[in-house]
Amino acid sequence: MHDIAIIGAGRIGRIHSVNAISEPRLAVKYIVDPVAKAANELAAATGASVASLDEILADPAVAGVVVASSTDTHLQFSAAAIEAGKAVFCEKPIDLDLKTAKSAASTLDSGGARLFLGFNRRFDHNFLQLRERIQSGEMGALETLHIISHDPSPPPIDYVRLSGGMFKDMTIHDFDMARFLLGEEPVSVTAMASVLVDPKIGELGDYDSVSVILKTASGRQCSISNSRRATYGYDQPIEVHGSKGAVAAENQRPVSIEIANASGYTRPPLHDFFMNRYTEAYAFEISSFIDFVESKSPASPSGTDGLIALALAEAALKSVKEGRAVKVSEITGPLADKSVFQGR
């Protein structure tokens, strides 16, 4: 049984708390949040105490810290917890700025540092199956990968303003998924971007509809399509084609019925929210974090995974701005050393 502390009593902090309660190896000891009301409510619901950052870091019983606060505090809180010797589960993204994130590497990547990054999709059992089927060799050599990821509707414009932009906010998940499945690092990125959904997003200099092609050193190709709009729900299928075969993960549906009438055969829409889509994945993510706390498994995703995804997002934006294919090395520079952030 491990005690953990959760920093951030917002939406995602609550999800992790609830899942932590159902995980027998875990006890939520503390909730940290500057908003007292939120902290108190979540503490009450989970049987935890409200505490300050200093208190949780000082408590030797706390084995792990979940950083689920606002994005601009991710690096700072993660670094503090790592310095205090805790294993850290940091929500993605590690930061919105690649340079800042890289400069923190010296702290986050020191001797015993242990950072586990919250790319929830890696814990979906269907996508895990894709990876297993690829790694088993069943598909032969991977050739092309196709990711569609369309959100039901755009977030509030205030969210968009602070989001870091489409590529860092939304495509970043797909960049990580692409790396998770491709079996090779992308070396080149080309992208196109438009404003088709909400002109206000365009006024912020951002996009709401983007298409990306990634290419690896051996020539594997990955297409990504992102949109802030899909009237039929949270649309996120993945298709992998290899020399021996293909494997696809279908969209998840909240209910498996089909209605037939004079209009045809209709299945209900997809999930309308990513948190419903990934209910099981979030639970498995916390379990995996505990495996990591117990040193049973590596940090996957690691801080470096977060850094590379961020670099791909910057490369994609550069590609759009400059109308050309961008080499990933143009962005990452001396990132070659994969140990950065990787922990343990």
DSSP-derived 3-state class of residue 325: coil
Question: Which residues, 6 or more positions from 181, have their beta carbon under 8 angstroms from its beta carbon?
Answer: 127, 130, 131, 134, 142, 145, 238, 240
| 329 in contact with its own copies (CB under 8 A) | no
Residue 184 touches its own copies, criterion: CB under 8 A: no
| Cβ contacts of 126 within 8 Å, gap of 6 or more | 249, 250, 252
- Does residue 20 touch its own copies according to CB under 8 A? no
Instruction: Give backbone dihedrals phi and psi of 216, rounded to 5 degrees, phi first.
Output: -95, 175
Site string for its own copies, 304-323 (x = CB under 8 A): -------------------x
Residue 325, phi then psi, degrees to nearest 5: -70, 135
Contact between residue 248 and residue 237 where contact means Cβ atoms under 8 Å apart: yes
Least CB distance to its own copies at residue 131 (A):
11
Closest to its own copies by CB, 85 or 268: 268
Is 200 one of the binding residues for its own copies (CB under 8 A)? no
Smallest distance, Å, CB 320 to its own copies? 9
Of 134-153, binders to its own copies (CB under 8 A) are 138, 141, 143-144, 146, 148, 150
Q: Closest approach of Cβ 36 to its own copies, in Å? A: 23
Whichever of 21 and 38 has its CB closer to its own copies, that residue is 21
- Among residue numbers 239 through 268, which ones bind its own copies (CB under 8 A)? 239, 241, 243-252, 255-268
**In the bound complex, what is the minimum distance in angstroms from residue 147's beta carbon to its own copies?**
10
- Binds its own copies (CB under 8 A): choice among 40, 190, 300, 329: 190
Residue 264, burial from CB neighbour count under 10 angstroms (0-12, 13-18, 19+)? exposed
How far is Cα 123 from Cα 112, in angstroms, rounded to an integer?
Answer: 25
- How far is the C-alpha of 241 from the C-alpha of 140, rounded, in Å? 9
Q: Does residue 232 interact with its own copies by CB under 8 A?
A: yes
Give the dihedral sign, CA 163/339/109/98: negative
22 belongs to the binding site for its own copies (CB under 8 A):
yes
Of the CA atoms within 13 Å of residue 315, those in its CB half-sphere come to 26
Q: Which is nearer to its own copies, 160 or 299 (CB)?
A: 160
# residues near its own copies by CB under 8 A: 68
CB of 153 to its own copies, least distance (A): 11
Omega into 93 within 30° of 0, i.e. cis?
A: yes
Least CB distance to its own copies at residue 78 (A)? 30
| Residue from 69, 120, 171, 188 in contact with its own copies (CB under 8 A) | 188
Contacts 24+ apart (CB under 8 A), 252-261: 252/126, 252/277
Q: Beta partners for 241?
A: 144, 246
Q: Which residues bind its own copies (CB under 8 A)?
A: 22, 125-126, 129-130, 133, 138, 141, 143-144, 146, 148, 150, 188, 190-192, 194-197, 209-211, 213, 215, 218-221, 223, 225, 227, 229-232, 235, 239, 241, 243-252, 255-269, 323-325
